Structure 1
Amino acid sequence: MEFQDRLAALATKVSNQAAAIGTEEATKNAFVMPFISSILGYDVFDPLEVVPEFTADVGIKKGEKIDYAIMREGEVQILIECKASTGAPKIEHASQLYRYFATTNARIAALTNGVIWQFFTDLDAPNRMDAKPFLVLDLLDIDDTLITEVQKLSKASFDLESIISSAEELKYVGALKREIAGQFREPSDEWIKFFAQRVYEGSYTQRVREQFTALVTKASRQFLTESVNDRLKTALGAGVSVRSEAGDAGAVTSGPVAQGDLDRDTEVETTLEELEGYQIVKAIACGETKPQRVTHRDAKSYFAVLLDDNNRKPIARLHFNGRQKYLGLLDEQKTEVRHAIDELDEIYSHADAIRAAVIRYR
């Protein structure tokens, strides 16, 4: 199995099991050890490669233990500190990593809750672990641009010089991407003022700040939506003929369908969250049909996921316009039942019903 496939398989396991993991030990067994074994490629049962509860006396701190030390030719290569998956890993959890980093030969340290992996090195000062990670891997939202960098940490591909040389760029590019994403979700006063002063000629008063808070938020979301739509138009604009199970007579041309989805109702604002929800439903539905048959239509009241772009073949409806999000599923009589969801990942818990809907229309 290729590295990317192994990473995807572990990500699926984490997505399916994260809600059931409640302790640090359970996190280690379910997520951390499989990551060390299947992703990094080390034998977790070989003490010459992986040492659990690694101990090294640090000043007056005697007998302190770090969760795992990955060894190479008798020297510590990577230090790993674990926390329960129920909470996000925070830098205040890394005090032991700081101390051990300074007293071993390790140049790489990892802080993880099994879901999010934060990797550190010593860019700011030699032999002193940085306060900010140079690489952050979220198994529930994998950034494809980081896969090659993660692979460099594996036993088969470990290249310390390459890791360190690219770490500084990774550190700041990653931090900037996370900061930009945060500003799009919830713009700060500085972000709002930055844009307001470029389009508004009057004084930046409290009233103007309040007005532009809503405007910048709306403009940011529309910009993201339009960017996604532009990419869809570019990818599908030429049209791709797909042979249906009935043969050439039933061919579906995805280009015009996608274009029609984008242009159908100019008063409807398709959000990035709706498109992400659609991709999850589509991924589930593709277990029972060809991906090209799963399409979407957005309306003012809900975002519909359809089979064959046919309103009489609804797979699911996404009600994401209100404060509470709902996933609408229809039974054999086309009666809709709404299920409240807080996170998009909760759609996966309704996978059986989504697949059943597709099977009914086949």
Structure 2
Amino acid sequence: MELKLKLEQLHQRVSGLKDQINTEEATKNAFVMPFIQILGYDIFNPTEVVPEYVCDIGTKKGEKVDYVIRKNEEPILIIECKHWKENVDAHNSQLHRYYHVSKARFGVLTNGIIYNFYTDLEKTNIMDEKPFLTVNIEDLKDSSIKILESFTKNEYNLETILDSAEAFKYIKAIRKEFENEIENPSDEMVKLLVNRFFDKPLTANRMVSFKEYTKKALTISINESISYRLKSALSINEKIETKVDEKVNLIDENNGLPKVITTVEELEAFQIVKAILREKITAERIAHRDTQSYFGVLLDDNNRKPICRFHFNSTNKYLEIFHKGKDAGEKTLLNNLDEIYNHRSELHQTVEKYSS
């Protein structure tokens, strides 16, 4: 996906530069303008990308939104920017005012890292309180990128976006509620499930117990489903015996939970390594496997071709790279995930070694 690749490259740029970006104006120039360019719009054409667009509000004259994107001489998107350290959710009232007086159907509030897309699904010409789409450059989701493609210059279609915006908005809301139920099951959820097989009264004490049972049951079910899919994918290109020691669905007999649980931090580290390796090889050749002792990144999904491993299961976090050979992993202490970018050359050397 070309758009995803460009966004991953922007992520690398943001990670490498953000500590040097000290103003809102610098955020716009370094992060937001490249994002607009990735969508296919000509940032150097003032009739297509209009900076400091006047949005007079009642008696307040001279109010300006940072950018307006025009297509066929009509505004289609207004963009309000903040410094990358600011919380964009705290400024949606400002975008709300601009949206009300503009003719654009979509508004974006961004700090150069998080892009919140708004429209008027609830009331015509009044911006919704919550965004229907959020694109996080540091945590790219395929589902979000698919919607974002509809905003590119070549693919923009108002009806298509509006048709999908409502579905995407409510799917996201339902997913959030479901995730909340997994983390902290409500009385309603527990009663819904338990009353189907438990015919005794749910006393307060039993409710406490069944909440814990429900949380554990949902967690196990989801993790086993993910583990099954991973194991099925991993079994395609290698013999099963090479993976016996790396099964991801082992259950701890003491607490009934999977022994191997892939963390968000491990997946974020994998995305960073993947973005680095995409400079040398295609995404299809970059695979990962999680084990009890480490999270491994492999070339061609082959455990005889390790690229690196993440040792994140202790207080100190280490990156192990195999640029000196598959039996000569070299560990480096990581203070934060961004330091992985400091090892770009070693990661490139590793994949080049397997190809030589």
TM-score by length of structure 2 reads 0.76
Asked whether 1:318 is paired with 2:349, we answer: no
Q: Post-superposition shift, 1:18? A: 3.7
Opposite residue 172 of structure 2, the aligned amino acid is G
Aligned residues: 336
Change (3 A) 1:52 1:359: closer
Change (3 A) 1:328 1:76: closer
Asked whether 1:160 is paired with 2:158, we answer: yes
Change (3 A) 1:8 1:193: same
Check conservation: 2:190, 2:211, Cα contact below 8 A. Answer: no
Check conservation: 1:136, 1:174, Cα contact below 8 A. Answer: no
Change (3 A) 1:76 1:179: same
Opposite residue 204 of structure 1, the aligned amino acid is A
Q: Equivalent residue for 2:318?
A: 327
Q: Distance in 1 between matches of 2:246 and 2:82?
A: 44
SS at match of 2:311: strand
1:243-300, CA deviations, whole angstroms, 9 ceiling, x for partnerless residues?
xxxxxxxxxx26543454116965471112176267348635787899879765623x
Q: Post-superposition shift, 1:302? A: 5.0
Q: Equivalent residue for 1:227?
A: 225
Q: Post-superposition shift, 1:339? A: 2.5
Opposite residue 57 of structure 2, the aligned amino acid is V
Q: Equivalent residue for 2:255?
A: none
Opposite residue 246 of structure 2, the aligned amino acid is D
Change (3 A) 1:358 1:42: closer
Q: Equivalent residue for 2:247?
A: 262
Q: Which moved more, 1:94-103 or 1:212-221?
A: 212-221
Check conservation: 2:108, 2:115, Cα contact below 8 A. Answer: yes
Q: Equivalent residue for 1:339?
A: 333
Change (3 A) 1:56 1:38: same
Q: Equivalent residue for 1:54?
A: 53
Q: Which moved more, 1:126-135 or 1:7-16?
A: 7-16
Q: Post-superposition shift, 1:9? A: 2.9
Q: Equivalent residue for 1:17?
A: 17
Asked whether 1:271 is paired with 2:261, we answer: yes
Q: Post-superposition shift, 1:68? A: 0.7
Opposite residue 242 of structure 2, the aligned amino acid is V
Q: Distance in 1 between matches of 2:60 and 2:246?
A: 63
Superposed, 1:1-362 pairs within 5 Å as 2-39=2-39, 41-90=40-89, 92-181=90-179, 187-188=183-184, 191-194=185-188, 196-197=190-191, 198-199=193-194, 202-205=202-205, 209=208, 219-237=217-235, 239-240=236-237, 253=238, 255-258=240-243, 260-262=245-247, 266-267=251-252, 269-273=259-263, 276=267, 279-280=270-271, 283=274, 296=289, 298-299=291-292, 302-303=294-295, 309=303, 315-320=308-313, 322=314, 324=315, 326-329=317-320, 339-341=333-335, 344=337, 346-352=339-345
Q: Distance in 2 between matches of 1:292 and 1:81?
A: 38
Check conservation: 1:295, 1:305, Cα contact below 8 A. Answer: yes
SS at match of 1:66: strand
- Percentage identity across paired residues of the two chains: 34
Please list every run of 5 or more consecutive structure 2 residues that lacks an aligned counterpart in the other structure: 253-257
Change (3 A) 1:227 1:17: farther
Opposite residue 262 of structure 1, the aligned amino acid is K
CA RMSD of aligned residues (A): 3.9
1:119-140, CA deviations, whole angstroms, 9 ceiling, x for partnerless residues?
1111111111111112111222
Q: Distance in 2 between matches of 1:101 and 1:286?
A: 38
Check conservation: 1:280, 1:348, Cα contact below 8 A. Answer: no
Change (3 A) 1:254 1:120: farther
Q: Distance in 2 between matches of 1:310 and 1:110?
A: 46
Change (3 A) 1:101 1:345: same
Q: Post-superposition shift, 1:325? A: 5.4
Q: Distance in 1 between matches of 2:261 and 2:104?
A: 45
SS at match of 2:231: helix
SS at match of 1:119: strand
Check conservation: 1:108, 1:120, Cα contact below 8 A. Answer: yes
Opposite residue 261 of structure 2, the aligned amino acid is T
Q: Distance in 1 between matches of 2:349 and 2:333?
A: 16
